[in-house]
Structure formats: structure tokens, C-alpha cells
């Protein structure tokens, strides 16, 4: 009997109504890990590069990792994937909560959904039983109402849900998958893939615990992390990721005025400390996690921006996207924006960037009240920010334009809008400034999903002694690296850290827990019975990145798409980083180093040799002849 994983993938064809089981052996899970590994393998194997991301040939994939659902902190994550409606390439988003663990408890490593239903449906999974059920009555409902209605219909409070909100139904390209009402697999527009298939939700209930090969070691590691997080991630419990707002402002790396600045005078009302003193009413957590970093906020005394705790609360990325980057300093409005995105199923980063871009176009005279239904889209207007998010979710007025994402919307707006679009491979920038974290710029450009902060290296983690630097020393880094240091060690670290992050995601482990490569190798060995090494762990990340890169190559991405928007190379005119220009020459050299270390060739295309070396010979026929 397998340990750690189940060996089974549920296959659901919505066009034919067929439900089947796909089984994989030990070698498959050891090679691909789960999560993004299963997604990349499926896209290369089944989804034609020319497939319409919103058509029947695309697949929607929910995939847990080999470690998802294990009884230790950080193991509550899973991935969703498919061809991205936003970028047209490899699409993947990760999420915490309880859905992934429940999927494993039901006996499944993944669910792969193909085809398109004739009418709205949802998939109900109860251990080894799966049904396609009618969703006409819940189509159009917000995510929270959908979950409540399905839990009542199914008659069991133990079900967990992955839900498509109204934004996904309307094919908003920044729509996302919402889990547990308040957690988002935010990036790459996968909610629109669900909507295109008329798939309202996946409901899952399991009754079996995930088995592990070595329970004693697993318990020892669980006990260790239950104490170690307090020293290494202790600030996350009282203040969440919003604890970083002040530091980023002080250093000049807080995105402001649509990335025109890196400091925001109104930051004080957006900090985790201020949230804890005002609207925070509780903490939530993910499966088996001791940190409890998830915010729960409530606003009842502001008629403009009422907020319910069932939709969680704003994390740092949300605060950056809808608040500081829109010059908005109203915490109640920020929390309301977070609720709108979770209710309607939208990526707060992508949606916030759509709004801040509209504000810039308004400021420059590229759009006016005739475009926005009379709404004045001025920077600093909390009313405009919240109202435009609602328009975006419903595809109303100018919201219908930005529902296509910033890059497509910029092409519609015209003028200089497209040249200034703050996207990479068509995906909007996250809320971290490469002028402050120069290694991050390489990660943004090289990520197969477009700009993503979770796939990249944050320089500030390696500026002093500590567990992050200890991990890096195992990769050859000799000592602390300054955030703006232009060194070869930084180039090497970008390679190793990206592999580490992708492997961590594929196994189903959260980045906030203080696991290093040796820990994760030991945990994987204990869960599965394999003799797993740190080298094998790094190869897992490199393998997944190479598969994703190969898929992007097939859909038409080239080395020219591995770039940053021009604004990120321009110096700020004020603030702590005034006059500092991002080092373009060092960055260009970093791209070349990254290609070579990954085995992708000078043109960024994975070579036949790299595929052979990573055990990916089954995809040799996908390598373009020029590689």
C-alpha cells in the first residue's frame, strides 16, 4: 500500500459525464511529487499548445502533494492548474486551508476535469465515490453562499470545497479558485477555467487518515516545528503577513501609485499592528498548522465598507495591491476590497493591479468618465477602488475592459498604456519591488506563470545570519548578501531558491514554516519510505520548472518574454531609493546564468540533454529542433 500518496487520480469528463480512475506507480510520484508536478505533466501530455484556455481541450486540475495531509505543520497546501486564460501558458496557483488534506483523506492525489458541461454542475467526492451533480440552483452565487448551500444539500459539515465565484462564471481573467471561503489559489486566472467548464465547485469529504511509512519520525518532526516556528516565524501569528508593511515602506520597497514610488505616506493605517488594534477579531489556521497566521476581520460601524469575518482579512499582497498601490490608506476599504475578491473569486493581486492601472490611465487622460460609467478613478479614492473592483467582478462598465487583465485592457485603452503595462508574460506584478530586492527581478522574469513572488528569491531573507542563510550555505553561499548586492552568488542563489520553492509547493508544504531542504527530505522519506535526499529534492523543483518551461515554449513564449516592465528599471524620484536604478546589465547576465544552470540553452529552451538528465525522456519529442 502506498504511503504519503494514494496512487489514484480521479478523472472527470464533463462533456461525456464519464468518471474514471487513473493510477500511477511509485516512480511517478517520486519523479513529479504532486501539485505543480502533476499539473505540468498533464499539460505536456494532454493539453495541446494551441488549445483555447477557455475551451473544452483545456483541463482543470486539482492536485495535492506527496506530503499534503500529513500530520505536521505546513502540510495543508495543494495546487490548481491548467492552461492559463491570463497568460496563455502554464497556469498554476497554490492554496492552503483544508481542501487538499481532505482530498487525500478521501483517497485521491488529484482530480483532473476535462471537457465542458452542458449546464452548471459540481463534483461531489465522498471517499471513493464521485458524482457530477446539478448546480443550476447555485450558479451565480458568491463563494460563501455556494459553500453554505452545498454543505446543506450534502448534509455533512465535514465537506471541504473549492469554488468558482461569479467572476469565474463571467470568465474574468483574474478570477481564482476559492477554498474555505477565504483562501485563494490566486494567480493565472484558474477560476475562469472552472467557469468555462460550468464547474461551480468540487466538494470533497474523506474518512481515512493519510498513512506514513515512519510515524515516529513524522511525530518527531511535528513536535520540532510546533516549537521552532515561534523563533523563526513568530510575528506571523499576531500580525500576519501585513507585519511587513512598515519595513517595506521604510526601505522604499512598498509599491505605491502603480509602482511609480516605493514609499507611501499613509502606510501606518495599513500595518498588521494597526489591524490588530482595530478590525482584527481572530486568527484562523490551515490543516495541522500551529502558526494561525490567517486574519479574521470585521467592520460593522462603517456603512460604506461593511466586512464579514467569514471572508478572512487582508494579507500583505492584498494591502499592497488595493491600498498602497492605489494610494488608498483606508483599512476598512482595504478589508472590504479583500471581501469582494473572496466573495466573487478574484485574485487580489491581479484585481488590484487592474484598478491601479485604471487609476493611472485616468490620471494620464487615457480614459474618462465616459469609459467608467461616471466613476472618477482618481488615485487615493477608496470609493473608486472598491467600486471598480465590484465592476470588475461583474464585468460592468470599465470593469468589463479590465476583466481581460491589465495587458489586454491596455491594448484596448491604447496610447502609451500597453508600453507601460506592469505585467510579465501577461500576469500582473506582485507587491514586491525589484529595485529593493534585485534578485527578485530575475525570479519575476523567469517564472513560468509570469511574475510571482512565491516562485522567486527575496533578497532580504539572506541579509543576515539565520535559518534562511543556513539553507543557502548548503548551496555554496559563503555569508550574508546585501539586498542590492550584485554578485555571482546572487545569480546562483536565484537558481537554487527557485528549485527549492517549486519542490516545496509540489510536495504540498507551506513556505512560512521553517523547513529547510534536509528537513523536507527527511519528512518525505518518513512519509513514503523512500531514501529521499536533498539533491533529489532540488532536482524535483528543476524538473517541474523545466516541464513548465517546455510547455510555455510550445505555446510560443521565447526568451524575449523573460523581461521586466520598463518602469522597474527606472529610478524612483523620491523616497529611500531615490535615484537608484535597477542594475540592468547584472540582470541580463543573471538570465544567462539561470538558463545555463537550468540546462535551457542560450535561447532559454530546455535541451534534450537536460530532459534526459532530469528523467524526462518521455517528453523528448516535445523539444523544438533548434534546441
Contacts of 390 (CB under 8 A, 6+ apart): 340, 396, 399
- The backbone torsions φ and ψ at residue 343, rounded to the nearest 5 degrees and listed phi first, read -65, -45
Residue 1: per-residue pLDDT: 65
Q: For residue 157, what pLDDT is reported? A: 93
Asked if residue 378 has pLDDT above 70, the reply is: yes
Per-residue model confidence as pLDDT tens digits over 90-114: 999 999 999 999 999 999 999 999 9
341/143 Cα distance (integer angstroms): 10
Burial-class residue 394 by CB neighbours within 10 Å (0-12, 13-18, 19+).
middle
Q: Which residues contact 141 (CB under 8 A, 6 or more apart)?
A: 149, 166
For residue 166, give the DSSP letter: H
Is the pLDDT confidence value at 626 over 70? Answer: no
Sign of the torsion angle spanned by Cα atoms 39, 40, 45, 51: positive
- Determine which helix (DSSP H) or strand (DSSP E) holds 71, and give its type and residue range: none
List of domains in the chain: 8-205 (3.60.9.10), 236-415 (1.10.569.10), 438-622 (1.10.599.10)
DSSP state of 320: I
What integer is the mean pLDDT of 271-284? 96
Does residue 516 carry a pLDDT above 90?
no
Q: What is the pLDDT of residue 377?
A: 98
Q: Cell numbers at residue 510, please?
A: 507551506
> Mean per-residue pLDDT for 163-180?
98
How confident is the prediction for the chain on average, in pLDDT? 95
Phi and psi angles of residue 427, each rounded to the nearest 5 degrees, phi first: -105, 140
Please answer whether residues 201 and 142 qualify as being in contact, where contact means their C-beta atoms are separated by less than 8 angstroms: no
Give the mean pLDDT of 7-11: 98
Nearest to 615 by CA among 536, 529, 520: 536
> What is the per-residue pLDDT for 436?
87
The answer on pLDDT for 587 being more than 90 is yes
Q: How far apart are CA 616 and CA 623, in angstroms?
A: 11
Rounded to 10 degrees, the C-alpha dihedral 405/410/411/415 comes to 180
Share of the chain above pLDDT 70, in %: 100
Q: DSSP string covering 571-620, please?
A: PBSSSTTBT----HHHHHHHHHHHHHHHT-TTTTPPPHHHHHHTT-GGGG
pLDDT score of 231 more than 90: no
Match 500530520 to its residue by C-alpha cell: 71
Written as nine digits, the cell of 109 is 492525489
Asked if 508 contacts 29 with a C-beta cutoff of 8 angstroms, the reply is no
Q: What pLDDT, on the 0 to 100 scale, is given for residue 467?
A: 78
Q: What phi and psi, each to the nearest 5 degrees, are found at residue 503? A: -70, -40
257-261, 318-322, 483-487: least confidently modelled range = 483-487
Residue 367's alpha-carbon distances to 349, 392, 396, 408, 414, in angstroms, are 22, 16, 15, 15, 10
The predicted model gives 145-149 an average pLDDT of 98
Mean pLDDT over 389-403 rounds to: 98
- pLDDT in the model for residue 228: 86
Q: Can you tell me the mean pLDDT for 494-515?
A: 93
Q: How confident is the model at residue 126 (pLDDT cuts 50, 70, 90)?
A: very high
**Mean per-residue pLDDT for 371-397?**
97
Residue 203 pLDDT exceeds 70: yes
C-alpha cell, 108:
485521491
Q: Are 42 and 28 in contact (CB under 8 A)?
A: no
Q: How far apart are the first and last CA of the chain?
A: 41
User: Is 531's pLDDT higher than 90?
Assistant: yes
Q: Which residues of 202-214 are buried (b: 16+ CB within 10 A; e: fewer)?
A: bbbbbeeebebeb
Q: Above 60 in pLDDT, residue 627?
A: no
SS3 state of residue 238: helix
**Residues 92/80, Cβ–Cβ less than 8 Å:** yes
Proportion of the chain above pLDDT 90, given as a percent: 90
Amino acid at each position: 500500500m502506498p504511503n504519503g500518496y494514494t496512487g489514484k487520480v480521479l478523472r472527470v469528463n464533463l462533456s461525456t459525464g464519464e468518471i474514471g480512475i487513473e493510477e500511477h506507480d511509485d516512480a511517478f510520484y517520486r519523479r513529479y511529487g504532486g501539485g505543480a508536478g502533476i499539473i505540468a505533466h498533464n499539460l505536456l501530455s494532454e493539453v495541446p499548445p494551441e488549445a483555447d484556455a477557455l475551451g473544452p481541450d483545456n483541463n482543470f486540475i486539482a492536485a495535492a502533494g506527496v506530503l499534503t495531509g500529513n500530520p505536521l505543520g505546513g502540510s495543508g497546501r495543494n495546487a490548481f492548474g491548467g492552461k492559463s486564460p491570463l497568460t496563455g501558458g502554464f497556469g498554476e496557483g497554490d492554496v492552503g486551508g483544508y481542501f487538499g488534506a481532505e482530498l487525500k483523506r478521501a483517497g485521491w492525489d488529484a482530480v483532473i476535469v476535462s471537457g465542458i458541461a452542458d449546464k452548471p454542475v459540481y463534483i461531489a467526492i465522498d471517499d471513493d465515490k464521485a458524482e457530477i451533480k446539478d448546480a443550476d440552483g447555485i450558479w451565480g452565487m458568491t463563494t460563501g453562499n455556494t459553500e453554505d448551500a452545498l454543505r446543506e444539500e450534502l448534509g455533512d459539515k465535514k465537506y471541504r470545497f473549492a469554488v468558482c465565484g461569479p467572476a469565474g462564471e463571467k470568465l474574468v481573467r483574474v478570477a481564482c479558485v476559492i477554498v474555505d471561503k477565504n483562501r485563494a489559489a490566486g494567480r493565472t486566472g484558474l477560476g475562469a477555467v472552472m467557469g468555462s467548464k460550468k464547474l461551480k465547485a468540487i466538494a470533497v469529504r474523506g474518512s481515512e487518515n493519510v498513512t506514513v511509512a515512519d510515524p515516529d519520525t513524522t511525530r518527531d518532526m511535528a513536535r520540532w516545528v510546533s516549537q521552532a516556528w515561534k523563533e523563526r516565524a513568530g510575528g506571523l501569528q499576531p500580525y500576519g503577513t501585513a507585519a511587513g508593511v512598515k519595513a517595506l515602506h521604510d526601505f522604499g520597497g512598498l509599491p505605491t501609485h502603480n509602482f511609480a514610488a516605493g514609499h507611501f505616506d499613509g502606510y501606518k493605517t495599513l500595518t498588521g499592528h494597526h489591524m490588530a488594534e482595530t478590525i482584527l477579531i481572530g486568527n484562523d489556521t490551515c490543516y495541522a498548522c500551529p502558526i494561525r497566521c490567517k486574519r479574521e476581520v470585521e467592520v460593522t460601524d462603517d456603512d460604506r465598507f461593511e466586512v464579514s469575518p467569514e471572508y478572512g482579512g487582508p494579507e500583505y499582497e492584498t494591502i499592497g495591491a488595493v491600498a498602497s498601490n492605489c494610494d488608498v490608506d483606508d483599512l476598512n476599504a482595504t478589508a472590504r476590497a479583500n471581501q469582494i475578491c473572496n466573495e466573487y473569486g478574484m485574485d487580489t493581486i491581479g484585481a488590484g493591479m487592474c484598478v491601479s492601472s485604471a487609476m493611472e490611465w485616468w490620471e494620464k487622460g487615457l480614459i474618462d468618465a465616459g469609459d467608467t460609467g461616471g466613476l472618477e478613478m482618481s488615485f487615493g479614492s477608496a470609493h473608486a477602488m472598491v467600486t471598480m473592483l465590484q465592476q470588475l467582478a461583474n464585468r460592468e462598465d470599465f470593469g468589463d475592459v479590465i476583466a481581460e487583465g491589465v495587458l489586454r485592457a491596455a491594448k484596448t485603452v491604447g496610447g502609451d498604456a500597453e508600453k507601460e503595462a506592469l505585467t510579465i508574460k501577461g500576469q500582473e506584478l506582485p507587491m514586491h519591488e525589484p529595485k529593493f530586492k534585485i534578485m527578485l527581478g530575475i525570479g519575476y522574469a523567469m517564472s513560468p506563470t509570469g511574475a510571482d513572488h512565491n516562485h522567486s528569491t527575496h533578497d532580504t531573507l539572506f541579509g543576515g545570519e539565520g535559518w534562511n542563510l543556513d539553507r543557502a550555505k548548503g548551496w555554496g553561499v559563503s555569508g550574508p548578501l546585501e539586498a542590492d548586492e550584485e554578485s555571482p552568488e546572487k545569480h546562483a542563489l536565484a537558481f537554487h531558491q527557485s528549485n527549492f520553492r517549486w519542490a516545496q509547493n509540489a510536495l504540498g508544504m507551506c513556505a512560512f514554516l521553517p523547513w529547510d531542504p534536509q528537513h523536507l527530505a527527511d519528512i518525505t522519506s518518513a512519509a513514503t519510505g523512500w531514501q529521499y535526499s536533498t539533491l533529489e529534492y532540488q532536482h524535483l523543483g528543476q524538473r517541474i520548472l523545466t516541464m513548465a518551461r517546455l510547455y510555455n515554449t510550445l505555446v510560443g513564449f521565447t526568451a524575449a518574454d523573460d523581461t521586466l516592465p520598463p518602469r522597474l528599471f527606472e529610478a524612483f524620484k523620491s523616497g529611500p531609493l531615490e535615484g537608484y536604478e535597477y542594475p540592468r546589465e547584472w540582470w541580463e547576465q543573471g538570465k544567462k546564468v539561470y538558463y545555463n544552470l537550468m540546462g535551457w540553452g542560450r535561447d532559454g529552451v530546455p535541451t534534450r540533454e537536460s530532459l534526459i538528465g532530469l528523467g524526462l525522456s518521455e517528453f523528448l519529442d516535445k523539444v523544438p529542433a533548434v534546441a
